[in-house]
């Protein structure tokens, strides 16, 4: 049977596309996958092709010390992301050997190769535990077993389920935070244009940041609401994170690609 796990937050609208990093996705089944094992992660190469990583609410303070945090998407899909690259499909924090070069690895990355997905006709707080069968950390011959001989979850799988449930709850808080910032009309669009040494040009668009003046113009009641929900604190972490943008440009420059950046 498929593994259904409770989550503290409601799922987002169903998306027919695969989750970020996934090549394929299957519901974890204690019968079909009785022999499945989880190996220690030796590489983050699976994240090499993404220049933005979704963040949960509780991650903002730590992530802000290393990554520019911006708002991306529209409407119900508006979310906070950590910029890890300045050109499409290029994560500047992954080295040639697939190792993550940052001090803090976002939870979204640490979740892979697992994800929570809501089954058809399931209760709002019931989710299927899914995984990517093509991930290099899953195996039937080596690693820590996910099920015991009776089909019960092992400690390894239970820990992953707990991590994913906490992650889901914090992701829902991040969505609420993004929606509130948008409702208060605090966001302003930011475009970044990048020109390489060989004349090639790149553009980052669809990104938004909180406008300081708009925040200052808010009525006192709105500011008090933001303060009481920790949202004001997170906005200031967002402001601080933008100071890491030059360091991100330096990472790209170190590859010998950037001659100038204008924003």
- Which pLDDT tens digit goes with each residue over 163-208? 999 999 999 999 999 999 999 999 999 887 766 555 556 677 778 9
- Which pLDDT tens digit goes with each residue over 237-263? 999 999 999 898 888 877 765 444 444
**9: confidence class by pLDDT, cuts 50, 70, 90:** very low
Percentage above 70 pLDDT, the chain: 84
Strand partners, 17: none
Q: pLDDT at position 16, please? A: 47
The more confident residue out of 9 and 20 is 20
DSSP 14: P
Q: How many CB atoms lie within 10 A of CB 7?
A: 21
pLDDT at 62 over 90: yes
The more confident residue out of 197 and 212 is 212
**4: confidence class by pLDDT, cuts 50, 70, 90:** very low
Between CA 263 and CA 259 the distance in angstroms is 14
Between CA 184 and CA 222 the distance in angstroms is 8
pLDDT at 104 over 80: yes
pLDDT at 87 over 60: yes
pTM: 0.85
Element (H, E) at 189: strand 187-196
- Which pLDDT tens digit goes with each residue over 122-152? 555 567 899 999 999 999 999 999 999 999 9
Q: Where are the domains of the chain?
A: 4-262
């Amino acid at each position: 049977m498929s593994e259904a796990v409770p989550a503290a937050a409601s799922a987002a609208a169903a998306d027919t596309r695969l989750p970020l990093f996934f090549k394929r996705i299957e519901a974890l089944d204690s019968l079909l996958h009785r022999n499945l094992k989880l190996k220690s992660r030796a590489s983050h190469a699976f994240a090499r092709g993404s220049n933005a990583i979704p963040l949960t609410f509780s991650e903002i303070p730590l992530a802000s010390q290393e990554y520019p945090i911006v708002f991306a998407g529209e409407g119900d899909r508006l979310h906070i992301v950590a910029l890890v690259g300045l050109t499409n499909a290029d994560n500047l924090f992954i080295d040639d050997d697939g190792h993550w070069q940052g001090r803090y690895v976002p939870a979204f990355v640490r979740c892979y190769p697992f994800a929570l997905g809501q089954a058809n006709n399931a209760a709002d707080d019931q989710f299927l535990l899914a995984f990517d069968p093509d991930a290099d950390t899953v195996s039937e011959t080596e690693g820590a077993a996910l099920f015991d001989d009776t089909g019960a979850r092992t400690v390894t799988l239970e820990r992953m389920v707990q991590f994913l449930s906490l992650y889901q709850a914090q992701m829902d808080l991040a969505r609420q935070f993004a929606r509130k910032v948008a409702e208060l009309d605090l966001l302003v669009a930011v475009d970044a244009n990048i020109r390489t040494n060989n004349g090639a040009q790149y553009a980052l668009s669809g990104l938004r940041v909180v406008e300081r003046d708009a925040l200052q113009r808010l009525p006192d009641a709105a500011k008090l609401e933001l303060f009481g929900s920790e949202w004001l604190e997170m906005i200031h972490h967002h402001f601080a994170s933008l100071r890491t943008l030059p360091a991100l440009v330096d990472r790209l420059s170190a590859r010998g690609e950037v001659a100038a950046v204008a924003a």
